[in-house]
Chain A
Amino acid sequence: MGEQLEKVKTAMAELDLDAIAPGVQSALDAGEEPTLILANMADGMAAVGELFEKGEYFLADLVLAGEGMKEGLEVLEPHLKAGDRGGKGTVVLCTVKGDIHDIGKNLVATMLSSAGYKVIDLGTDVHQDKVVEAVRANSAGAVGLSVLLTPMVESIREVVNALKAAGLRDQVKIAIGGACTTQELADKMGVDALGRDAVEAIRIFEGFFS
């Protein structure tokens, strides 16, 4: 592996925010393939996820890695071709109707995107019909629903029912996550998985598409 590529990966993994974008630029200047640079950024991001699971990194570190990824991509994006990103599958993400909390959802979006998935992020307080529309329009294979507040959990059921009514439920796997979610809730709502944090969420989506 080229020295510049290794530097990009290390900067991501060590959360050296000031070295990520310059590292990407140096790698480009050294003639490295943009897709290889992207792959090394993703490897660095995956290393951050592993350190989070080991308890060495925390939520703010995951968010910081996401910010580093964004800064690196700002430099790299103009050099990528259509189709270089998002080839692993399409995931529709949102925070459910009535809820506007988005830290977890944004984190999952960034990590999925850097892991090679196409992410359709519908934002917060999203009506179930918009989820159905996005799944259909993008032939998505998975849906991720975020909910923080207990009074909003019924919105999960509304999405599940809307997907069933549209005849799309068999086409998509659904995962939920957020502060008030439990395995009992996941079972009650008829979804396929519960993610306790962003890193576990990525593993769940990897499983959905494997």
Chain B
Amino acid sequence: MQVASSLERVTAALELREPDRVPTLNTLEEFSHINKILNKRAIPVTFFVTNKYASKVGDKLAPLINKSGYLDWEMDRRTYDLTAASVKLGCDSAWVMHVPIFRLRDTRYATDIYGRYYDVALDKQGNLDTPMYRGGLITGPDDWKAWDKSDLFKWPARTNKAFARVQKDFGERIFVMATFLFGLFENSWQTMGFERFAVALRREKDFLRRYIKFYEDHWCEMLEAWADAGVPGAIYTDDQAYRSGPMISPKLMKELYSDSLCRITETAHKLGMKIVIHSCGRVYDLLEWWADCGFDGVHALEPTAGVELARAKEMVGDRMCLLGNVDITHILVDATKEEVFEAVRESIAAAGKGGGYIIAPTNSHPDMSVERVQWMLEAVEKYGYYPLQV
């Protein structure tokens, strides 16, 4: 069979056709991974966070850092480097996030432009890690009305610029799946906290509907910005499930979010883009609904949440491409090369038949091993060519 380009290979899989081999998606997105792959040095921020005296200076500098736009610039750079690292690894596609959303309160706490607050986190190399979510600042309609949304409105133009640069330099070599944080469900609950959200589901549905609509419009604007930059795909990241199942009843999920998700996928398709949904957790009860909403694919399919690829393939494999399923608690952290190869072989055997499968880690965290992701890619070269021999 003729060797396909990465763009052709990924497009074929997303359209449920059989490519020349199973395509690959890179999800490694931590600074430590990017630096390792690109041989870059970490920015030494640990000192300013952990040293008693330096952190006092850092606390004073926090408002200036926010005002200078340094963090947002770092995020622009990360988006570019993340794509460059994915190309260097040899992946067919990459989950490319652009999130100029964080604002420092001081050296320990941060907020984001939606209304979450976080603990500042560092990885083991001293890089800034994804900050750890602590709770939400929007306790009701009044908080939401008063919330400064100006940075949200500026974001589409900034993301357009960041992805235009990415597409110009890498667009012909890799299928970029653009994304940002967060999806509508996560934005609904994380900005107010889950306890508050659970109560709002009973007592303040109208407020929630208005809230969801605002973020639906925001998502559509971001899709337009990506499409204008030439990005071929998007990942709609929205953890709607956890290890035992959906976080709220699927019936309520559909009632509140169906119209918005349908509009988001329709917008992507009208713009000529593919769109994949990402959700952690045990997602069986949501798969058919996501297919009904028009998603081209579904990512994560976490083995640690009990998701079996073969079952997912049987349920929706004729309607959506499956992406992910390679474990990030053991296989891509500390497994042997044989274990990694066997995990890849099993995933391809379960979901590769007839196309419609893109192999990928289920997520990203700093303890994942770049070497094991490279083994994953090697194993795809061994087992992933059609006709499959697994």
Contact = CB atoms under 8 A, between A and B. Distances in A.
B194 A103 contact: yes
Contacts of B305: 179
A146 B201 CA distance: 26
Interface in B120-137: 123-124, 132-134
Contact of A182 (B124, B201, B304): B304
A67 B201 CA distance: 13
B194 A196 contact: no
Nearest to A17: B202
B203 A100 contact: no
Interface in B190-222: 194-195, 197-199, 201-203
Interface stretch (A58-66, A85-93, A111-119, A130-138): A58-66
B203 A17 contact: yes
Interface in A148-168: 149-151
A59 B281 CA distance: 12
Nearest to B201: A60
A184 interface: yes
B246 A58 contact: yes
Contacts of B195: 63, 66-67, 103, 106
Contacts of B245: 55, 58-59
Contact of B198 (A63, A182, A196): A63
Contact of A196 (B133, B197, B201, B243): B243
Interface string B127-149: 00000111000000000000000
B365 A60 contact: no
B194 A63 contact: yes
Given A151-B366, A185-B329, A60 B247 contact: yes
Nearest to A62: B198
A17 B365 CA distance: 38
A180 B329 CA distance: 7
A66 B196 CA distance: 11
B246 A67 contact: no
A127 interface: no
B59 interface: no
Interface residues of B, number: 34
A197 interface: yes
B244 A64 contact: no
Contacts of B42: none
B332 to A, nearest CB: 10
A150 B194 contact: no
B249 interface: yes
A100 B132 contact: yes
Contacts of A125: 119
A135 B280 CA distance: 34
Interface string B366-387: 1100000000000000000000
A110 to B, nearest CB: 10
B100 to A, nearest CB: 23
A184 B247 contact: no
Interface in B331-390: 333, 365-367
Interface in A161-210: 179-180, 182, 184-185, 196-197
B329 A64 contact: no
Which 7 pairs across A and B sit closest by C-beta, in order of nearness? A63-B198, A60-B248, A197-B244, A151-B367, A60-B198, A64-B198, A59-B247
Given A63-B198, A150-B367, 7 more contacts: A60-B194, A99-B132, A149-B365, A179-B242, A179-B281, A185-B329, A197-B243
22 contacts: A18-B203, A57-B249, A58-B245, A59-B244, A59-B246, A60-B194, A60-B197, A60-B201, A63-B194, A66-B195, A67-B195, A67-B199, A125-B119, A149-B365, A150-B328, A150-B365, A179-B242, A179-B243, A179-B280, A180-B304, A180-B329, A182-B304
